[in-house]
Structure 1
Amino acid sequence: MEGSPPPPAPGTATDTTAMFTASEVESRVGVPAATLRQWERRYGFPSPARSASGYRLYSPHDLALIEVMQSHLRAGVPAGRAAQLTLASAGHGETAAEPGASVPGAPHLPVGSLAPALLEALVGGHLTRAGGVLAQAHAHLPLEDVLTGVVTPALVEIGARWERGDITVAHEHRASAFLRARLEALLDAAGVESEFGPRVIAACAPGEQHELGLLMISLVLRRRGVQTEYLGANMPLGDLVVYARQRRADAVLLALNGEWALEGTRAQRRDLGGLEVPVFYGGALINAHPDLAAELGGRYAGPDVVRAADLITAHLRAVRAGGT
């Protein structure tokens, strides 16, 4: 790892980053490559880049437009008109979309209404509508803003409604499963294949099953150029240490979202003693009690996914520059 270049500065990766082949787009959104080429010729979108070998490479922004187009087609809108509405939702062509254009069954949503719309779609079990809301969000906002301004507020309110008894565990689980699938797909797409650059191992603490916040931080870290290896929920700390050593990690990131994870983490904390790299703590519980990070022998990652990723990335750059 010594002598590896630092990760790029925050914000160098954008939603127009070319990263998906046509076959990957087909597997993710179900639109054949031939159809994508037809849309490109007829309607001017998607707008893939070309690899050095001449292959089309699609961006997250392209995927968002494709999903909007699909939503219109499923709603029975003719293809030509669906393309016009799709481009209008992204700020091209018409000055504004018609009611119902970007999200089937709902009016064209201003940015400030995206989080409430996502919340109600998820709680109501309307997953196609939830996908349309996310497609509109990706078409108008950078990914980091989608995570912090749309997905996170919806998740927080879902948790609050569950605690009040307004929704059942079933509602919460279905919403979480939908968002987890979306985030895992984005995480895979942002994968850092190179063996250069810093490596962070991310996992949920012992007893912690809530993964979505950690998935979001891992996604933003990968977009910063950090090799982030995501290990999932309920990770025994002894096994985590063995893996981190084998992978020559530069840092470890642990998530604790509730008291249910604290006892197990305290009991296994001694297993972290052999690590020679910093341990960052994040999650709802740590945000409510930042002092717990030091008590558990680590560092507070930060209050939201973007600031946590920025703090960890800044630390990694400082170490490579000879800082502490």
Structure 2
Amino acid sequence: MTHPEKPAAPTGGERETGAAEEDPVTELLLSVAAVARRLGVAPATLRTWDRRYGLGPSDHTTGRHRRYAPRDIARLELMQRALLRGASSAEAAKYALTASVPAPRAQAPTAPAPVPVLTGGEFEAGAAVAGGRGLRMPGASRRARGLGRAVLAMDSAAAQQILADSLGEDGVVATWDQVVRPLLGAMAARWEHSGAGVEVSHLLNECVLASMIRVTPLVTTPRNHRPVLLACMPDERHNIPLYPLAAVLAQRGVGIRQLGAALPAEALRSAVRRIAPAAVVLWAQLPRYADPGALAALPRTRQQVRLFVGGPGWERGVVPPTAERIDDLGTAVAAIETAVC
């Protein structure tokens, strides 16, 4: 097929007045690098999507430079959002190619229509991940991988939507064990390997915390006469695992008091004296905070207090006979509920 010759470029400061010059959309064409920065992916990812799925630029300028029009970028955004929701690359591409895309305008494009929840296979091996280096998550669930893509893209709205869907369909225990924990482990491994991803870990923690709080009901008439006290070991700052525990206990009608992270030792002892709890659950993420002496220093109350300790910090520590170690969320809930109800 032959192409018509292009008219000579205007000279002497003159400006051509053809239709192409009058169309403001032609001024919005972006290069591969610009689109990659906009979407937060590598340029190689865009080339792969073009070669494999046909999601490429509709315009090639002189010298074979690839330029993306607004409609091309809108389809790429649809694909990226579908990937964040857990679709495979092939599913996301099919959705992006068949979905309705608004006609391009001269002004900034509006946000694309919401992407429906997509179901199906896992992400392809070696698929590029938004936001830089990926995460090692062998055997992880579709939702865990989708959540990983969302947090790497720093997309808290997508991350919280994935968590909300999982919590609504599968419950707190399954969401924690099958979606959140694998991702937390992958994030920790990534940080140990490269020292990168602190901001991503913080975003993930905030999303998990907010999601768990939303599904934690207010218990006005608890089944237990004395509450369960949930806290970290003195000065421990990693308290996220206590939130799913609080959510499940509250859903089962168990009254709790939650004190959060970095609690001073004296404040913990004061809380035990004031609340007189039926059980105390103390979390230690790091071994240096798994101190048996802090447990022995807890005040004695007139009524018996069941003491539970949890977290990887206790794996190599010495758990005194007065305390019971809890591991996974399901058994922890069962043990605490049996003890206080």
Q: Same fold (TM over 0.5)?
A: yes
* Equivalent residue, structure 1, for 2:184: 155
SS in 2 for 1:212: coil
Q: Identify which of 167, 178, 187 aligns with 1:138.
A: 167
> 2:119 aligned with 1:108, yes or no?
yes
- Unpaired runs of 5+ in structure 1? 1-74, 77-97, 318-324
State how far apart, in whole Å, the 1-side matches of 2:328 and 2:296 are.
27
Letter in 1 for 2:166: A
State how far apart, in whole Å, the 2-side matches of 1:135 and 1:268 are.
37
Alpha carbons of structure 1 residues 274 and 216: separation in structure 2 relative to 1, 3 Å: same
Give CA-to-partner distance per residue, 1:247-266, whole Å, 9 cap, x none: 2310100000112423xx34
> 2:338 aligned with 1:310, yes or no?
no
* Equivalent residue, structure 1, for 2:323: 298
Alpha carbons of structure 1 residues 315 and 259: separation in structure 2 relative to 1, 3 Å: same
Q: Identify which of 119, 122, 127 aligns with 2:151.
A: 122
C-alpha contact (below 8 Å) 1:294/1:300 kept by paired residues: no
* Equivalent residue, structure 1, for 2:238: 210
Alpha carbons of structure 1 residues 99 and 310: separation in structure 2 relative to 1, 3 Å: farther
RMSD of Structure 2 on Structure 1 (CA): 3.1
Q: Identify which of 289, 292, 300 aligns with 1:274.
A: 300
Give CA-to-partner distance per residue, 1:281-309, whole Å, 9 cap, x none: 011222x34x63227x41112x2112111
Letter in 1 for 2:294: Q
Give CA-to-partner distance per residue, 1:106-128, whole Å, 9 cap, x none: 84356931112112211321222
* Equivalent residue, structure 1, for 2:247: 219
Alpha carbons of structure 1 residues 109 and 163: separation in structure 2 relative to 1, 3 Å: farther
* Equivalent residue, structure 2, for 1:191: 218
SS in 2 for 1:292: coil
| TM-score, normalised via structure 2 length | 0.56
Alpha carbons of structure 1 residues 103 and 207: separation in structure 2 relative to 1, 3 Å: farther
**CA radius of gyration, larger in:** 2
Higher alpha-carbon deviation: 117-126 or 134-143: 134-143
Letter in 2 for 1:268: A
State how far apart, in whole Å, the 1-side matches of 2:287 and 2:245 are.
21
Alpha carbons of structure 1 residues 164 and 99: separation in structure 2 relative to 1, 3 Å: same
| TM-score, normalised via structure 1 length | 0.58
C-alpha contact (below 8 Å) 2:272/2:299 kept by paired residues: no
Q: Identify which of 216, 219, 229 aligns with 2:257.
A: 229
Following superposition, the deviation at residue 160 of structure 1 comes to: 1.9
- Unpaired runs of 5+ in structure 2? 1-76, 79-93, 100-112, 123-140
Q: Percent identity?
A: 22
Letter in 1 for 2:319: A
Following superposition, the deviation at residue 206 of structure 1 comes to: 1.1
State how far apart, in whole Å, the 1-side matches of 2:115 and 2:313 are.
37
State how far apart, in whole Å, the 1-side matches of 2:295 and 2:264 are.
10
Greater relative CO, 1 or 2 (CA 8 Å, sep 6+):
1
Give CA-to-partner distance per residue, 1:132-191, whole Å, 9 cap, x none: 32233234312321122112222222222222226332221122122222222323xx12
State how far apart, in whole Å, the 2-side matches of 1:148 and 1:294 are.
27
Give CA-to-partner distance per residue, 1:57-83, whole Å, 9 cap, x none: xxxxxxxxxxxxxxxxxx99xxxxxxx
Following superposition, the deviation at residue 99 of structure 1 comes to: 4.4
